């Protein structure tokens, strides 16, 4: 574990908004270790979601270096990024983002279809993931038949189905009530402690940040500091 799981050097990202150019990330320098549970926090506009998207290979930076899980993301093209995402990352979104026309089981199975696993093997993995999040008995339900908290847990099952090293969560508790939020946070904690998953969680909720082991503070596209917590 000498090499950091995530290494960010001089990362810059700009957006065009109605004729003006906004610099969202400004020469960001950052390192995150494998096995960590990081909460990314900062005022709105600080670039935390943008950073998450770049680390997850959903977008490309304008400048700087980005190494994630040993891979230089700047050198990958669209197809390369897609393959990399399938193998290395699991996403959890604020709005759950389950595909409405598929059942819970089918949603969890989706990323597995990108692997060479056989049908029976895929089924095994998917059921295992669903059992982990405690929703195996609802696996044939459609998203609209599940509550918000249940949907998010299915999304987490989907995120871990291919056993990726890295889990990226963007305001995972933003749309949930207190009880469901706690369930989700507890789940994430378990995934980190028991299964050694590296977790990055963007949040503005201090209560959610308490579940993490470290807090990364961003402001105006730059790193303000990393707070290591004793847990």
Partner 1 sequence: MTKLVWRQILGHPVRSLLTVGAVFVGVFLLCMLRSVVVALNAGVDAASAARLMVQSSVSLFVSLPISYKERIAGVEGVEAISKWQWFGGFYQDQSNFFAQFAVDPVELFDAYPELEIAPEVKQRFLERRNACIVGEQLFEQFRDEGWEVGKSIPMIGALFPHPSGGAWEFELAGTYRSATGALDNRTMFFQWDFFEKTAEQTECGVFVLKVAPGADVSRIMAEIDTLYENGPQKVRTTTEKEFQRQFVTMIGAVPLFVSWIGGGAVLAILMACVNTMLLAARQQVHDVGILKALGFTDGTAFQLMLAQSLTLCVLGGALGVGFALVTEPVLVTLLGTFFPGYAITPETVGLGLGAALLLGLVAGIAPAMSSARLNPVQALRGT
CA–CA separation, 205 and 192 (whole Å): 19
Residue 128 vs 189, nearer CB to partner 1: 128
Residue 107 vs 183, nearer CB to partner 1: 107
User: Which position among 18, 100, 116, 225 is part of the footprint of partner 1 (CB under 8 A)?
Assistant: 100
Residue 91 vs 215, nearer CB to partner 1: 91
- By CB under 8 A, the residues from 186 to 225 that bind partner 1 are none
Tokens of 33: 């270790």
* Under 8 Å between Cβ of 160 and 188: no
User: Which position among 12, 23, 97, 214 is part of the footprint of partner 1 (CB under 8 A)?
Assistant: 97
Give how far Cα 213 sits from Cα of 52, 173, 181, Å: 17, 17, 17
User: Which position among 72, 99, 134, 177 is part of the footprint of partner 1 (CB under 8 A)?
Assistant: 99
Residue 48 vs 85, nearer CB to partner 1: 85
- By CB under 8 A, the residues from 16 to 45 that bind partner 1 are none
Q: With contacts defined by CB under 8 A, how many residues of the chain interact with partner 1?
A: 28
What x-and-dash track marks residues 113-142 binding partner 1 by CB under 8 A? xx----------------------------
- By CB under 8 A, the residues from 47 to 76 that bind partner 1 are 53, 56, 58-59
Does residue number 86 form part of the binding site for partner 1 (CB under 8 A)?
Answer: yes
Quick one: which segment of 29-37, 63-71, 89-97, 131-139 binds partner 1 (CB under 8 A)? 89-97
Residue 9 vs 113, nearer CB to partner 1: 113
Q: How far is the CB of 112 from partner 1 (least distance, A)?
A: 10
Closest CA to 159 of 129, 115, 189: 129
Give the pairing type, strands 166-170 and 37-41.
unpaired
Assign residue 27 a region: left if phi > 0, alpha if psi is -120 to 50, beta otherwise? left
Contact positions vs partner 1 (CB under 8 A): 53, 56, 58-59, 78-79, 82-87, 89, 91, 93, 95, 97-102, 106, 110-111, 113-114, 158
């Amino acid at each position: 574990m000498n090499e950091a799981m995530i290494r960010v050097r001089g990362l810059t990202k700009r957006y065009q908004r109605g004729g003006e150019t906004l610099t969202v990330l400004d020469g960001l320098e950052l390192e995150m270790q494998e096995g960590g549970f990081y909460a990314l926090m900062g005022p709105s506009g600080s670039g935390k979601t943008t950073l998450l998207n770049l680390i997850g290979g959903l977008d490309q930076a304008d400048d700087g270096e980005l190494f994630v899980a040993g891979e230089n993301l700047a050198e990958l093209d669209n197809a390369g990024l897609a393959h990399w995402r399938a193998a290395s990352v699991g996403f959890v979104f604020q709005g759950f983002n389950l595909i409405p026309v598929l059942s819970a089981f089918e949603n969890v199975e989706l990323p597995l279809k990108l692997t060479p696993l056989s049908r029976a093997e895929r089924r095994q993995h998917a059921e295992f993931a669903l059992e982990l999040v405690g929703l195996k008995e609802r696996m044939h339900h459609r998203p609209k038949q599940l509550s918000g908290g249940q949907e998010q847990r299915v999304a987490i099952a989907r995120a871990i189905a291919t056993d990726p090293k890295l889990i990226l969560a963007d305001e995972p508790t933003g749309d949930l009530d207190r009880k469901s939020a706690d369930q989700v946070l507890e789940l994430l904690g378990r995934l980190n402690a028991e299964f050694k998953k590296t977790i990055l969680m963007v949040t503005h909720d201090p209560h959610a940040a308490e579940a993490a082991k470290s807090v990364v503070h961003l402001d105006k596209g730059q790193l303000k500091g990393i707070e290591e917590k004793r847990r």
